[in-house]
Structure 1
């Protein structure tokens, strides 16, 4: 069968680094980033150097033409820690997301799968830690409590606009709210409140589950919702026993079947740190 043609933005970044082993096997890949090396300084094969915000329309046309799906992982880290610098930096990320949507729409791309974050609704962790709420799902109103999360919530709202046909044809959009895409070092939590470690266990997603979530989001044939809008938000967590973020809709829509469970993966650490 003909491989799907996939454009991966932010191809030298952390999330892309976990996806590339699976993506290189499955897709006809086009890679783009503002550098050729990953965070460890190692070259990433096949990366085209281009800034999606400053690139000309002709450069973007060449990049997006004949692409089936864009997987958007590119991210400009804001310079400075003050609120205005953070806002200005995250606003650039929102503008970049909009340019990806519009360029995809203009050049016949069928679907955009974007790396979002649980931070788009992070405030809900407060009632969770207080024992007042057991679960949060994609249908809950976005409630970011930081500018990084605000930008990702903006990605999602803007994505729905493109998906419902408000900008022309319907562009299929899937946003993946990734929670804890890393191995958990229990030693880092030994002197912290218990809930901080439990939160990591609840949000953990293994590399193979992250790959499955992205690949199934890329490959699913039908992603229309009950109203005919091809838009979904899926949480990125494994099949964890201590769960807070709902993946019910990801199971139903794209048949996401995570294989890992943080309770099993980190059983020895949990017994030592939590006495269980």
Structure 2
């Protein structure tokens, strides 16, 4: 059976680094980024240098033609921390996402799977920790409280536009709201309010669960919603005992079955920090 042809953008980035071991085994893979090394200076094998924003239409056609699924994890970082710099950078990221959608649509790519973030609805953490809310789901109205989250929310609504068929054929779109894709260093929370550590435990996703979530988002054949639109937002968390972000739809639609639980993974740290 032929392998799926997958294009991974942002291939030298942090999320891509966690995905590549699984992707290299499973897919006929093409990698692009604006450089061939990670931020730590380590070379990533097979990366083609391409800037999605400045590349010509002909260059994009050559990259996207014959691809089944695009996994978009490319990201342009702000040059400074002031609000205008952050806004300008995120506008570029929205433009890049739109160019991925449009190029995929134009060149018969079936599906786009994009790395989004819980930041698209991060404000909901305030009522959660105030005891006014138990859960946030992908169906809740996006409520970002920073420019990064605002741009990711824009990724999502723009994706629905491409998925619903108003621009021609329906482009299949999945947005993955990744929460805490890293091992949790308890020492960083020893002197902080307890809820800061609880938040990390609730949002943790292990590397193998992250790989599973992306692979099932790539490989599941039928992703139409109840209205026939091939569009979904899934939260990226493991099977954590302390839950806040709902993964019920990811379990139902793509059969996501996370294997890890932060409460077990960090049991020693949890016992020490939560008993203070």
RMSD: 0.6
Give matches, 1:72-221, under 5 Å: 72-221=72-221
Give matches, 1:41-56, under 5 Å: 41-56=41-56
**Take 1:156 and 1:89, find their aligned partners in 2: how far apart are those partners?**
17
How far has the Cα of 1:34 moved from its partner? 0.3
Give matches, 1:222-237, under 5 Å: 222-237=222-237
Give matches, 1:11-30, under 5 Å: 11-30=11-30
**Take 1:89 and 1:265, find their aligned partners in 2: how far apart are those partners?**
36
**Take 1:248 and 1:269, find their aligned partners in 2: how far apart are those partners?**
28
**Take 1:166 and 1:178, find their aligned partners in 2: how far apart are those partners?**
28
**Take 1:161 and 1:23, find their aligned partners in 2: how far apart are those partners?**
28
Number of matched pairs = 276
**Take 1:81 and 1:131, find their aligned partners in 2: how far apart are those partners?**
31
Match of 2:34 in 1: 34
**Take 2:166 and 2:93, find their aligned partners in 1: how far apart are those partners?**
21
How far has the Cα of 1:167 moved from its partner? 1.2
Match of 2:66 in 1: 66
How far has the Cα of 1:82 moved from its partner? 1.0
Name structure 1 gaps, 5 residues minimum. none
SS in 2 for 1:256: coil
SS in 2 for 1:114: strand
TM-score by length of 2: 0.99
Q: Where has structure 1 moved over 6 Å in runs of 4 or more?
A: none
**Take 1:256 and 1:69, find their aligned partners in 2: how far apart are those partners?**
18
How far has the Cα of 1:40 moved from its partner? 1.7
**Take 2:23 and 2:166, find their aligned partners in 1: how far apart are those partners?**
31
**Take 1:82 and 1:198, find their aligned partners in 2: how far apart are those partners?**
29
Query: Is 2:259 the counterpart of 1:256?
Result: no
SS in 1 for 2:112: strand
How far has the Cα of 1:199 moved from its partner? 0.1
**Take 2:124 and 2:81, find their aligned partners in 1: how far apart are those partners?**
24
How far has the Cα of 1:210 moved from its partner? 0.0
TM-score by length of 1: 0.99
Match of 1:7 in 2: 7
How far has the Cα of 1:169 moved from its partner? 0.6
SS in 2 for 1:222: coil
